[in-house]
Structure 1
Amino acid sequence: MEPHEIQTDLLIIGSGNAGFSAALSAVESGATSVLLIDKCPQSWAGGNTYFTAGAFRTVHNGLSDLLDIVNNVNEETARIVDIPEYSNQAFLGDMERVTDGRCNKELARVLVEDSLETVKWLKKLGVRFQLSFNRQAYLVEGRWKFWGGLHIKTQDGGKGLVEDYLTVAKKRGIKVQFDTAGKKILINKDTGAVEGLLVEQDGKEQVIKCKVIVMAAGGFEADPKLRELHLGPGWDKARVRGTPHNTGDLLNIAVRDVKAKQVGDWAGCHSVAWDANADPNSGDREISNEFTKSGYPLGLMLNRDGRRFVDEGVDLRNYTYAKFGRAIMQQPDGVAFQVFDSKTIPMLRDEEYREEIVDRITAESLEELAQKCKKVGLSDPQTFTHTISSYNEAVQVDRASNPNMTFDPSIKDGLSTQGLELPKSNWALPLDTPPFLAVKVACGITFTFGGLTVDPETANVISEASNEKIEGLFCVGEMMGGLFYGNYPGGSGLTSGAVFGRRAGRGAATLIGSG
């Protein structure tokens, strides 16, 4: 019995930021028959987008460029906000720096040059943006000082972004269908162009005939075997930060069926410090991004053996959090303890560190704190306290040499240590004022960096066999390779999905119109 056939001009695979950007762009560019599918049930709509903090990295000339985009700044507040310009050169420089120069230069150029225009386009469509006071600013001497080149987010984070996309898609007549898993890309044998997708829905196969497919189905981070295969031994034990449905199926299908060319850092991923008590196999749609534990620049991170293993102050958090998850994974048992004292505990983000979200280990002395941590996995309390004492001494040596330097978490303030083999390069306050707080963390994997080769201008997939574009096949979002290597600048993932999703949607509409 032949599979049942349905017809659409454009098929989008994936219900996250990149997929919806492509769908909305295509409709805006004239496409009238657009179907977006996802293998997940409707209750998991949004893919990894749902689990993000909603941050978009974009170039701008300062606050004046952002006021028309955001909805949470009145005239009075605007007068006490300091947002430095974030130029094309700064964004490109950050891409080059954090990827060690390995990012595809043309992909990076498009990402940067289209960033502000794309954010404005999303705003016009109905996506709600805000200045990220809670995540990207500190109140310093009565002024909100933004830092790290990352200044806007969506209202209600990823949850709000997915809600906005679903609302706008419905208004624009985009059909959305869940519980529909792609099984095979269908190609015209004579022309080599895309002509449809074999899918499975409710246990039955059907064929979706179409002129164009945009793949936006994410990476393979939710598959333990693929993580261990590509990322290395031990990665099967990483905690899945987002959707459990990103298991790399469509990546494998594209390589198998159309010889899509692979590219990028297949051994790399975005991974963060994550609550060690979180579900290892799936994100929690209620708690979502709040399992992230990103306050480490305000304290220290020590492994199970009581030793520091990263320079917590080497750079602003936006440029380190996506790689420090890997550093935690490499520690004994893949866990660590973040430690703070009363000077910085009030500065920790409530949504990440409040008692309802995390097991807070508190004590009036470092010795007591070490003994409490021992009950949940610390193997060497004595080394734990010695490490912190040595750190405190190194801070005091630096203060004696630099008495006029002051703590400022909104910049790389230069408050450092002296004499430690592993320094803390900025924000090095002594950890000596009770009460103390420790939080146990593990590695939470967000998305994988390996993906498919695309034309930077159009997001058309490139064939391994011919090194030419595969007609009618586009790839965006976390499936697209070549942009991130080893690390990424915070907020550039959502921007990438929207920038290249928008380009893919325009290209798809043009192809449909010319057919």
Structure 2
Amino acid sequence: MAQTASDLTYDCVVVGSGNAGFCAAHSAIEHGCIQVLVVDKCPESWAGGNGYFTAGALRTVHGGLPDLLPIVNNVSPEMQDKIDLEPYTAENYTSDIMRLGQNRSDPLLVKALVDNSRDAVGWLTKHVGVRTMLSFHRQAYEVNGRQRFWGGVHLSTVDGGKGLIEDHRRKANEEGIEVWFECPAVRLIVEDGAVKGVVVHKAGKDISIRAAGVVLAAGGFEANAVLREKYMGPEWKEAHVRGTPYNQGDGFILSQAVNAALCGDWQGCHSTCWDAAAPKDTGDQVLSNQFTKSGYPLGVMANADGKRFVDEGEDMRNYTYARFGRKILEQPGGIAWQIYDDKVVPLLRKEEYADDVVRKIYAGSLEELADKLVADGVHDRITLFDTLQKYNDAIRKNGRNAQIQFNPSIKDGLSTQSDDGGLELPKTNWAQTIDQAPFVAVKVSCGITFTFGGLKIDPETAAVLNKEGRVIDGLYCTGEMVGNLFYSNYPGGSGLTAGAVFGRKAGREIAKLAAAQH
């Protein structure tokens, strides 16, 4: 390619080196592009965007265990007969997104994600070479000697997000995809309303890169405290950033040069229970997703006033964790404590709750626990102790509980509520008394993962639409920059899948444009 620094031409340029961006790049190569470039403002040591920090969960439509066995690598023939894994249908997936999003999600966008999910996951494993496994450690409990999967998301990548990005980068290297780090995109090249390339800042100078198409896959604005405050409210300045510090909303600024339509839930985000001792403004590349503290359905959460503030057993964790971070942020000081007794501690995931991962507060009695939590920041010892006592009393008074076996793999109906009443704030499932020493408490905060507001795209092509609803020629979008898909809440494991679905579409469409220009 005999070109000067001021006269570069590629078939496809992708802005962002995360899962979604790499999916677009792989797809462009697969469908005929020869010269594909990925640019990212981060240094190479931060490659992968938020994808690096995920647990690697992939939510997809599937036909049950026989459908998934060909694409996983951790199930021996002997294990197969001990696994309970029900099919997850298109109706299930659609219902989960729409239910959690209060029916505000764009039905056509949801349909595109759901209908293409299984094919996209198969493509990731077979074409890209992403290593996947059944999520025994995250999505299954052993019940009566059988591994019972729950929550609709059953696949994850080997070594989580770290393994996912490793696999993407290996494939990109094999395909000859160029990746430029420390190279922010500063503006789009626009001619007659169409995007003809992008200007990047590399090694101290601006470089114009012409391309058949540009894919915006630069993530949301969750790492930008100013934009969080502007769109989501002043309390969001205090949220902990779970992932990359480089998702500052730059892609949205780029898109405004072509009158791109902003859409979706700009006040909403994926946020979760996060270790209060975690770094504030960036994820940790070593511990990564291990700062997540998702065991709350097995216990209770209390705020600094000593009060519970959510129904910890409202639904399976995969359907509550993405909004409970917001609930913690709304509490005094933006903190809370998860409280467990010895009955459930063995069920807590070791990658999140091991002694070398999180600071745990142990106590031999509830009175001692209340004293220790006051020393840790709880304001009202009496209220905390009373909260735990009333919680235990409500469970004991519910006669129906005696007929129910605790089962964390289903909504088991163990509840604080009975015919005679119950708590003002119930725990609807998995309500067991907290009465068996030693007791354990973990201090948690709000960790923000990604924002829900984004760009309006064509569901079939991933082309960005302008404010008049027309396609902007040459501009595509995937990943966390897509708007109208998630509102207020999110079914776990959908983000990586959505990035793959719409990234594939974007790469395919740019290959068509490139073929027409050659």
Give the TM-score taking structure 1 as reference length.
Answer: 0.98
* Other-structure match for 2:137: 134
Per the alignment, residue 274 of structure 2 pairs with 274
The aligned residue for residue 470 of structure 2 is 468
Alignment of 1:299-314 (within 5 A): 299-314=299-314
Deviation at 1:207, TM superposition (A): 1.2
Report what 1:154 is aligned to: 157
Is 2:318 the counterpart of 1:318?
A: yes
CA–CA distance in structure 2, aligned partners of residues 9 and 382 of structure 1: 66
Conserved in 1, the CA contact under 8 Å of 2:11 and 2:510?
no
Post-superposition CA distance 1:59-104 (Å, at most 9, x none):
1111000000100001001110100111111111101110010111
2-structure distance, mates of 1:85, 1:299: 29
Amino acid at match of 1:337: W
Return the letter of the residue paired with 1:385: F
For residue 502 of structure 1, what is the amino acid of its counterpart? R
Give me the whole-angstrom Cα distance separating, in 2, the residues matched to 1:348 and 1:264.
35
1:174 to 171, 177, 187: 177
1:75 aligns with 77
Alpha-carbon displacement from aligned partner over 1:208-235 (angstroms, at most 9, x marks no partner) = 1212100000000000010011011210
Shift of 1:358: 0.7
Confirm or deny: 8 A CA contact 2:406 2:412 kept in the other structure. yes
SS in structure 1 opposite 2:70? coil
Corresponding letter in the other structure for 2:414: L
Return the letter of the residue paired with 2:271.
S
Does residue 425 (structure 1) correspond to residue 424 (structure 2)? The answer is: no
Instruction: Quote the offset at 1:3 in angstroms.
Output: 7.5
Query: Matches of residues 138-287 of structure 1 in structure 2 within 5 Å?
Result: 138-189=141-192, 192-255=193-256, 257-287=257-287
Amino acid in structure 2 at the alignment position of 1:7 = T
1:496 to 490, 495, 498: 498
Instruction: For 1:401 and 1:78, locate their aligned partners in 2 and report how far apart those are by CA, in whole Å.
Output: 35
Counterparts of 1:317-336 in structure 2, within 5 Å, are 317-336=317-336
Q: What residue number does 1:15 align with?
A: 17
The one-character-per-residue Cα deviations of 1:121-162 (angstroms, maximum 9, x if unpaired) are 111121000000000000111100000101000000000000
CA distance in 2, matches of 1:401, 1:211: 65
Match status 1:123 vs 2:151: no
Q: For residues 234-283 of structure 1, what are the alpha-carbon distances to aligned partners after superposition, in whole Å with 9 as ceiling and x for unaligned?
A: 1011000000000001112212x111000000000000000001110000
Q: Distance in 1 between matches of 2:358 and 2:401?
A: 37
The Cα shift of 1:380 comes to 0.9
Note if contact 2:401-2:415 (Cα within 8 Å) is conserved in structure 1: no
**8 Å CA contact 2:59, 2:497 repeated in 1:** yes
Distance in 2, Cα, partners of 1:370 & 1:417: 21
Tell me the secondary structure at the aligned position of residue 67 of structure 1: helix
Amino acid at match of 1:413: D
In structure 1, the gaps of 5 or more residues are none
Aligned pairs for 1:91-110 (under 5 A) are: 91-110=93-112
Check whether the contact 2:292–2:352 (CA below 8 A) recurs between aligned residues: yes
Q: Superposition RMSD on alpha carbons, in Å? A: 1.0
Segment of structure 1 superposing worse, 480-489 or 207-216: 207-216
TM score, norm. by length of structure 2: 0.97
Give 1:202 deviation, angstroms: 2.7
Q: Which amino acid aligns with 1:143?
A: R
The whole-number CA distance in structure 1 between the counterparts of 2:125 and 2:209 is: 32
Aligned residues: 509
Deviation at 1:443, TM superposition (A): 0.2
Residue in structure 1 matched with residue 413 of structure 2 by the alignment: 414
Equivalent-residue separation in structure 1 for 2:236 and 2:325 (angstroms)? 11
Residues in 1 aligned to 2:267 and 2:7: alpha-carbon distance in whole angstroms: 38
Pairing 1:319-398 to 2, within 5 Å after superposition: 319-398=319-398
Q: Secondary structure at the match of 1:149?
A: coil
Say which SS state the counterpart of residue 357 (structure 2) adopts. Answer: coil
Q: Which amino acid aligns with 2:303?
A: N
C-alpha displacement of 1:402:
4.0
Structure 1 CA distance for aligned equivalents of residues 348 and 24 of structure 2:
36
Counterpart amino acid of 1:196?
Answer: G
Partner of 1:163: helix, strand, or coil?
Answer: helix
CA contact (8 A) 2:219 2:479 kept: yes
Q: Indicate conservation of the 8 Å contact 2:10/2:211, yes or no.
A: yes
Counterpart of 2:75, as a letter, is: V
Task: Give the Cα–Cα distance (whole angstroms) in 2 for the partners of residues 3 and 462 of structure 1.
Answer: 31
CA shift for structure 1 position 382? 1.3
The 3-state SS of whatever aligns with 1:217 is: coil
1:454 Cα deviation (Å)? 0.3
Task: Decide which moves more: 280-289 or 365-374.
Answer: 365-374
Residues 318-340 of structure 1 deviation map (CA, whole Å, 9 limit, x = unaligned): 00000000000000000000000
Structure 2 distance, partners of 1:85, 1:351, is 27
Q: Percent identity over the alignment?
A: 54
* 1:88 aligned onto 2:87: no
User: 1:52 and 2:84 equivalent?
Assistant: no
Task: Provide the secondary structure at the position in 1 that maps to 2:352.
Answer: helix
Which moved further from structure 2: 88-97 or 5-14? 5-14
Structure-2 separation of matches of 1:505 and 1:211: 11
Which AA in structure 2 matches 1:86? Y
1:283-302 to structure 2, matched below 5 A, reads: 283-302=283-302
How far is the alpha carbon of 1:4 from its aligned partner? 2.8
Matched, 1:401 2:403: no
Structure 1 SS opposite 2:7: strand
